[in-house]
Structure 1
Amino acid sequence: MKRLTAYLSRLFMTDALILFGVVCFLLWLVNCLRSFDVVSVKGQSILTLAAQGLLTMPQLSIAFFYVCVGIGLARALQALQANRELHIIHTSHGLGSLWSATAVVAGAGVICVLLLSNFLEPYANRRLNVLTASVAADLVSSTLKPQRFTQVTPGVVLLIGGRSGDGEIQEFFADDRRDPETRRTYIAQAARVSTDGTNYVIELRDGSLQYTEADGRFSKVTFGRYDLSVDRLSQPMGVPNPLLEIDSLTLVSNAIRSGAWPQDVVSLLVNRASEGLRVIGICMVVLAVSGFPSGRRSRFNVPMEAIVMLLAFGERGISAYSPLGPSTGALLMIIGGGAVLIARTWVRPAPQVVTA
């Protein structure tokens, strides 16, 4: 690697990593504040709050990772132009080093975001579901106060009549309104929380399960014993998608072993792979816009950071509504950035001077 390429690579990566670290820390603090009921209401320690906020970070960090890479690259290129270093790079035939440094940053970003989306995020989802179920089980078994309504998760409210010394719960009541189409109500004379070492279960005895549909229809099922998984009460949207807890290597291995490629597995793998294309696309667009010196003075100087944010917003919108898949916006950025780069680096023939 040339010295100029190494210098530019360090400059681009430093700005991107600093911005990414600051954003991660701020979002972690916001997640902790949003989950503060884990400490204040559910009786957990501050370490549980910190762990819950940390485990939600991989999914959020994937969403803004390529934005941080693009802003870091743009800020570094603007600093080079302000110091006239960008002019020197172009006039001294250093354009190849500029392209190589951008490729190094894009390649490192692709590797990082693919590790996040394919391995770290599934692991964090798995640990977060276990932690959330553990908090809910502890809330039901020991922390929940008798004769007091307590919200386990948005849309789920619990009430118990009392608790005996051996952990037996009397008069258990749970109201689940997360599904707008169906309201579930669990009523039991007694309950107890148990675990098999992996999953937590609420053993309901001598009770009923009531369903209320959106159109007003009502149904009721009585039981002598009913095992209610804590996951059904602890997850904000009900039963979690088990595929989100499995890393991509395991998904591919299972598909190859079985010979079947379900559509939901393929869609999940494509979504995870598209994050790498976003990093490549944002780097190409930023290089095409800010990688060439300009001596023109504009009346209104639009910050490049705002342009990157708007570009990312548009890319997400296109990818979300495009029938071609989640990679549509990233591919458009790659095509558009590549076309601008080719146009700006195209060697035009010098005008011929006609002498009389």
Structure 2
Amino acid sequence: MGSIDRYIFRTTLASFAVVLVSLTGVIWITQALRGIDLMTSQGQTILTFLGVTSLAIPVLVLIIAPIALMIAVSHTLTKLATDSEIIVMNAAGLSPRRLFRPFLFATMVVSLLVAFIGSYLAPDGMRRLKRWDAEITADVLANILQPGRFAQLDQNLTIRVRERQPGGLLVGIFVDDRRDPKERVTIIADHGTVLKNKDGSFLILEDGNLQRFETGKTDPAMVAFGRYAFDMSKFSNRSQDVTYGIRERYLWELMVPPVDDPLYKQVPRQFSAEMHDRLMAPIYPLAFAALTFAFLGSPRTTRQSRNFSMGSAIAAVFGLRMAGFACSVVAAKSDFAAPLQYALLATAIGVSFWIISAGIVVEPPAKLVEAINRSNERLLRLFRRPAAA
């Protein structure tokens, strides 16, 4: 790889990283705001909130990476054209096919990244997210103990929490335990927290008092305590039986699904459609980069020509991606959608490589350029008249 190749390679990957991080961050923030109730209503910590929401980032990267590469390639080519570097390279004998080589190397890096995310990282993150979400939503201590409500955990056990503060701190705790027919226990504590360990789940109460009413006795026994552990393991569902959907399956599980899988027996076509989506995901970066370079890689002499090529590249990439989404939806019902999607990608890549190899310059029709020039002249005359007056 020569100095020119390294320069273009570094510029393209640097632009790709900036665009990918920016777009992913913006979309992640909009998605993460939906899970803000983890901290407000369920009393989870900020680390839990960030951990749960960040597990969806690989799925976002899987969709955004090809688009980010297209933007990076167009930015690099525009930069080279603005500085007249493409014209100089072309005059020095560097053909468009030779100029495309560093872009191809950068595309291979992005394709490998997308392949790894699609086959392992994205489904693994979705699995962790599903297990984490199931553990949070199935935990009675996190969902039933709502501030200001009397929670009836059992027929003879009532708990009320006045306030839930950040960090899982419970303030103003009242416990009425009548499960033992021989006695009744009433506990009032200033504050407390929920503790989970290998021995079970406990409500750790601090700075309170305990009243024990025993059958046959007139006066209750009262005990003031600084710290008291109330066992609630019975009410904390820690089951880890989670059924994974199609999107949570690894690529090899989609290619060779278990014969006795009940989900595969119900929707075998959806397994096949998801598998083809994973296999085609690394091809989209190559198709987008090739299309973008085919429209913008040749030297341009006019601004109208470059604007037309930029618009054409965006339209071609958008049309190919929308056609791919449509084929993915139809693939769950038809066997011809997946081959059609492969054919579309192969056609886009083949036509792009043919344009690059032949050195064809994609320019707007002459009539369109004349119409744009006439329109610009009318606008100039229109704005000049008030100034002259």
Instruction: Select the residue among 320, 324, 330 that pairs with 2:325.
Output: 320
In structure 2, the partner of 1:287 is 293
The change in CA–CA distance for 1:331 and 1:34 in structure 2 (over 3 A counts) is farther
Aligned residues of 1:5 and 1:97 also touching (Cα < 8 A) = no
Is structure 2 residue 350 aligned with structure 1 residue 335?
yes
SS of alignment partner, residue 294 of structure 1 = coil
Deviations 1:201-235 (Å, cap 9, x if unpaired)? xxxxxxxxxxxxxxxxxxxxxxxxxxxxxx6xxxx
**Which deviates more from structure 2 when the two are superposed, residues 337-346 or residues 14-23?**
337-346
In 2, the alpha carbon distance for the partners of 1:65 and 1:277 equals: 12
In 1, the alpha carbon distance for the partners of 2:114 and 2:62 equals: 6
Is structure 2 residue 248 aligned with structure 1 residue 245?
yes
In structure 1, the partner of 2:45 is 45
Instruction: Select the residue among 233, 237, 241 that pairs with 1:194.
Output: 237
In 1, the alpha carbon distance for the partners of 2:344 and 2:322 equals: 8
* Structure 1 residue 122: Cα displacement: 0.9
In 2, the alpha carbon distance for the partners of 1:320 and 1:13 equals: 26
In 2, the alpha carbon distance for the partners of 1:168 and 1:338 equals: 76
Aligned residues of 2:43 and 2:142 also touching (Cα < 8 A) = no
Deviations 1:278-306 (Å, cap 9, x if unpaired)? 111101111111111110232994694x6
- TM-score scaled by length of structure 1: 0.66
**Which deviates more from structure 2 when the two are superposed, residues 35-44 or residues 77-86?**
35-44
The 5-angstrom pairing of residues 286-305 of structure 1 reads 286-298=292-304, 301=307, 304=310
Question: RMSD over aligned Cα, in angstroms?
Answer: 3.6
In structure 1, the partner of 2:382 is none
* Structure 1 residue 114: Cα displacement: 0.5
* Structure 1 residue 86: Cα displacement: 0.7
* Structure 1 residue 6: Cα displacement: 1.6
For the pair shown, the structure with the greater C-alpha radius of gyration is: 2
Aligned residues of 1:35 and 1:53 also touching (Cα < 8 A) = yes
The change in CA–CA distance for 1:135 and 1:94 in structure 2 (over 3 A counts) is same
Q: Report the residue type matching 2:325 in the other structure.
A: A
Q: Report the residue type matching 1:335 in the other structure.
A: G
The 5-angstrom pairing of residues 68-147 of structure 1 reads 68-95=68-95, 96-138=97-139, 140-145=140-145
* Structure 1 residue 307: Cα displacement: 5.7
Aligned residues of 1:122 and 1:244 also touching (Cα < 8 A) = yes
In structure 2, the partner of 1:25 is 25
Aligned residues of 1:20 and 1:68 also touching (Cα < 8 A) = yes
User: What 5-or-longer segments of structure 1 have no aligned partner?
Assistant: 150-158, 170-190, 200-230, 232-238, 347-356
* Structure 1 residue 265: Cα displacement: 3.6
In 2, the alpha carbon distance for the partners of 1:63 and 1:76 equals: 21
* Structure 1 residue 161: Cα displacement: 4.2
In 2, the alpha carbon distance for the partners of 1:327 and 1:101 equals: 25
Q: Report the residue type matching 1:321 in the other structure.
A: A
- TM-score scaled by length of structure 2: 0.61
Aligned residues of 2:320 and 2:344 also touching (Cα < 8 A) = yes
In structure 2, the partner of 1:271 is 277
Aligned residues of 2:41 and 2:146 also touching (Cα < 8 A) = no
User: What 5-or-longer segments of structure 2 have no aligned partner?
Assistant: 160-174, 178-233, 328-335, 362-389
Q: Report the residue type matching 1:113 in the other structure.
A: V
* Structure 1 residue 84: Cα displacement: 0.7
In 2, the alpha carbon distance for the partners of 1:270 and 1:142 equals: 40
